[in-house]
Amino acid sequence: MKTAGRIFLLAGFVALAVAGRAADAPLRSPWDGHAVALTGTAYQCPAVPQLPHDFATNSYYVDAHHSIPDPELKRKYEASVEPVEDFTRAIVKAADAYRTTGSRAAAQCAAALLEAAAKQKVLAGKMDGHQAVYVQGWNLGAWAVAFLKIRGSTLVADEQAKEIAKWLKKLAEENRGYYDDRRHNSRAGDARNNHLYWAGFAVAAAGISADDRKLFEWGMSAYKEGIGDIRQDGTLPLELDRGQMALHYHLYALAPLMMLAEFGETNGIDLYAERDFAIKRLVARCVEGIDDPQYFQRRTGVPQVTSKEVEPWQIMWGVAYNRRFHDPAVFAILQRADHMSYTMLGGLPPE
């Protein structure tokens, strides 16, 4: 065998060995390796409410584009999710208080709240209706990220961690199952639009929490499917079909995709480079839309629903993105938001 051939073959063996070691390595989160100095900062932990095992709720959009809400249906929806979302906010707030102040009490609070939810098997029963499944996934992602933020604190007991991870894994498997079933239905848009990306984020976060590579890889595949949907102009076809909410849902779709990219990069998978950095086209279109929604208005034929202020959910993803790519347009938008915490992405962005 010629020397060049032997070198090529050896390089192949080395690459396979490295890939094998990476596949065997424990899954990591963006918060791993960022040590927090513990402090005695006080933290008031709320009481744990009784939360649902089974769950039912309603959608509140009443038009074909799922863009016009019915006020009464929206009120009923908000009332149904309020107890769970309040609890999620409490967990996320405690986890972020630990990350930002080092408070032992805050980390212990987040762990205790998560453990209590795990023992109650919150949202681990029957999800009655599509919207209930979405609520399950949104909260799962926040819970899993909160757990990832505190698990390296040395303040989460082994039994606590096992109980929490087992519950998160159960929820992830149930949520994944819904989308796998829906993919057999060619008309099921939620198996291909932003709902899939949010499920990918939640399932991947739970996969890292439970060190379950199959769940993690399912999340990675959801990311790749989302990136595959980005057109040359930076739009997502199913989100462009949301009428007056098209810009809103492009931003909403971008957030979980960015978190999935960060999960991948942390575990040695270069997701940002997918399809020649297609995610940069989506970023550019969304950032332009925050300042000037005219492009989305032209494409949809209707004025877009916008907000006067830059809200955290619209740009929180930009912290990690700008750290990697130093994008002046993203940086400028970041400066206009008054804080960076978005509960359904687990609170504050990766450090």
Q: What is the pLDDT of residues 39-64, one digit of tens each?
A: 999 999 999 999 999 999 999 999 99
29 CB-near residues (< 8 Å, 6+ apart)? 145, 148, 205, 208, 263, 266
Q: How far is it, in rounded angstroms, from Cα 58 to Cα 64?
A: 16
CB 52 within 8 A of CB 101: no
Rounded mean pLDDT of 77-81? 97
Residue 16 clears pLDDT 50, i.e. is over it: no
Q: Share the mean pLDDT of the chain.
A: 93
If one compares 14 and 189, the residue with the highest pLDDT of the two is 189
Split at pLDDT 50, 70, 90, the class of 184 is: confident
The reported pLDDT for the residue numbered 13 is 41
User: What pTM did the predictor assign?
Assistant: 0.93
Rounded mean pLDDT of 336-351? 95
Q: Which domains does the chain have, with CATH numbers?
A: 51-345 (1.50.10.100)
Q: Which two tokens stand for residue 338?
A: 């008054």
Residue 10 clears pLDDT 90, i.e. is over it: no
The reported pLDDT for the residue numbered 189 is 85
Residue 38 clears pLDDT 70, i.e. is over it: yes
Sign of the C-alpha dihedral computed for residues 325, 329, 332 and 334 taken in this order = negative
The reported pLDDT for the residue numbered 186 is 67
